[in-house]
Structure formats: structure tokens, C-alpha cells
Amino acid sequence: MKNVLLYALIMLASGVLTWQCQDTPPQTETDVAIPALLERSAGIGPDGELAQIQSMYRELVSKVRADPNDLNARLNLAELLMQEARISGEHGHYYPGILTLLETVVTEKPNPAQKYRALVDKASVQMSLHQFEAARATATEAVQINPNEASIYGVLVDANVELGHYEQAVEMADKMVSIRPDIRSYSRISYLREIYGQVTGAIDAMKLAVSAGYPGMEQTEWARLNLGQLYLRYGMIDSARLQFQLALSARPNYPFAIAAMAGLEALQGNQAEADRLIDQACALIPEVGFYVEKAKWEKEKGNVKGSGALTKEILAMLADDE
């Protein structure tokens, strides 16, 4: 089971316990710059997941330090850090270092498969940083190397959606699902169906995405969370609550599911419980969306001072993510 989880962490990356990687080998002038693995709560996710990530991080850092020409080790490390950024919410810390790490792969004479993989990862990080035009350009470069692999079309779907190019997004989604019908392609089909007003079809596709995932994995529970949000947007509150609860059962202390439950409680007039839950989510990871929700609720309650203080925090977080 552990080996399956470790493998999935790497393959799907293409977002309090005090711990820091103190035993990382010292960096020399010729070493590749590697972001430190930050401390975070061990309570987020399945039992043992954090320990496995820590172990894999140490192993990959050692490989990169021992052999600067091991580009596969650099790629594996970048993808592990991409996954940790998703889990921890520490985007401002991880993403700049990941981009630097990936750029060293692209510029150091990789073979075509390595260059393709680095470009896919780079485009994914650019999407997370809202650099949509850059992400589309990087993804287009990757497609020229390998037009027959599904993951890069996911980036092209997302970039085209964000840029308002919906017809191109549909074309890329069709290509993606024809190559590999999986959690990533089904979820994108769902997003596009909702954009075109096909609510039932969107729900059906997101159900397929959840079913295609590995229970408890961050990507799977993200899809389940989005299924719940779909239900919530169209008034199916009981179905939404069930999906949020299932996500928390499969992935304990999943911050986004806790925040979703907070939103649901606020919608139903249970503001005290909503406040408790959003505080719990904020304590787990520094996700700007949680703070935006909290600031909105404080403003609605007439707490101008509290809302203003939160707004300052939000602006600082946004600056850190740039």
C-alpha cells in the first residue's frame, strides 16, 4: 500500500507537527538549488503520508546531490514538491524553486522524454501561478515533442478555459479523454459541461473522475470536493454535504473539505459553526480563499476592524504567491 501511495504521489503531480528537513545534505556552489521541505501538520491526509513524503524527499535530494547529471531524480523531486505545494498550500515557497529546478532540466541537454516531462510540469506550475498565456505556450512546446500523451492536454484545457477560448478547450479535452480516460480527463470534461450548461452531464463526469481516483489521495478528494460543490451550486445540499463528509472520511483534516463544510453551514444560517470550521481550515494551511471567505463573513457581521485586518493578510498572501 505504501509503495502504491508513493508512486501515485509522483505520477499524479504532473497545491501542527513541527518538523523540518535538517538532515538534507549541505548545498555547495555547484549544487542545484532545492526548496526546503517546510513543516506542516501531520494530521492532513492518510496516516503515514507525511512520513513517506519526508522519506522520499531525503532520498531524492541525496540522489540529486550525488549525481548532478541525474535529470530523472530532479524531475521526481520537482513533482514531489509540486504535490507538497498542493497539500500544504505553501505555493509561494515551493513554486519558484520548482520552476528553477525544472529549468535546469530543460537547459541541460535532456532526452526528449525528460524535456517533455519538464515542460509538462513547468506548464502545470505556471497554471497554478495564474500565468495562463505562459502555461499555454509551454504546453504547446511540449505537444511538439509528444502529441500522444494525455496530461499535457489537461494544461491546454485549463489554460484555454482561463483565457476564454472555450472551443479550443473542448477540442483539447476531447483529445485528452480519447488518449486516457482518467480522473484528470473526466474532471475537465465536467468543468466544460458545466460551462455549457450541461449540469447533469457535468455531475456524471465528475462522478467518473472520483471513481477513477485512488481513495484518500489529494487528487481524488479534490475531485470529490468539486462534485460536492457542483451539487451545492445547483441546490442539492444533502448530496453536497455527503460528498464533503466522504472526502473528510477518506482524507482526514482535508482543509478544502473543511472549508466547504464551513460554506455550507453559513449558507444554512449556522454562522457559529461556519466560523469554527473556517478557522480550523485556516489553521491547517495558508489558503487565501479561506481568508477571503472569513473576511467576507466578518464584514457581514459588522466587524470592520476584523475584516480589515484579514484583508491586509490576504494582500500579503497574494503578494507572496506572485
Where residue 277 sits, what CATH number does that domain have? 1.25.40
Tabulate helix, strand, coil % of the chain (nearest 5): 75, 0, 25
Cβ contact 275:291 at 8 Å: no
| Residue 277 belongs to a domain | yes
Joined grid coordinates for residue 121: 510540469
pLDDT for the residue 17: 27
> Exposed, middle or buried by CB within 10 Å (0-12, 13-18, 19+), for 133?
exposed
304 pLDDT band (50/70/90 cuts)? very high
- Helices 71-88 and 49-66 pack at an angle, to 10 degrees, of 150
Residue 14 has pLDDT above 50, yes or no: no
Residues 6+ away with beta carbon under 8 Å from 62:
25
pLDDT for the residue 1: 40
- Domain final position from 84, 110, 136: 110
| Residue 75 belongs to a domain | yes
Tell me the mean pLDDT in the region 20-26: 41
pLDDT in tens, 202-248: 999 999 999 999 999 999 999 999 999 999 999 999 999 999 999 99
Q: Residue 201 to residues 22, 191, 207, 317: CA-CA distances in angstroms?
A: 49, 10, 10, 36
- Domain final position from 110, 140, 169: 110
Overall number of domains in the chain: 2
| Residue 216 belongs to a domain | no
Q: Residue 306 to residues 80, 309, 320: CA-CA distances in angstroms?
A: 37, 5, 21
What is the value of pTM for the model shown?
0.84
| Residue 49 belongs to a domain | yes
Query: What is the domain range of residue 297?
Result: 254-322
Cβ contact 230:194 at 8 Å: yes
- Domain final position from 76, 110, 144: 110
The C-alpha atoms of residue 34 and residue 179 are separated, in whole angstroms, by: 34
pLDDT for the residue 22: 37
Please provide residue 192's backbone torsions phi and psi, each rounded to the nearest 5 degrees. -70, -40
> Exposed, middle or buried by CB within 10 Å (0-12, 13-18, 19+), for 305?
exposed
| Residue 147 belongs to a domain | no
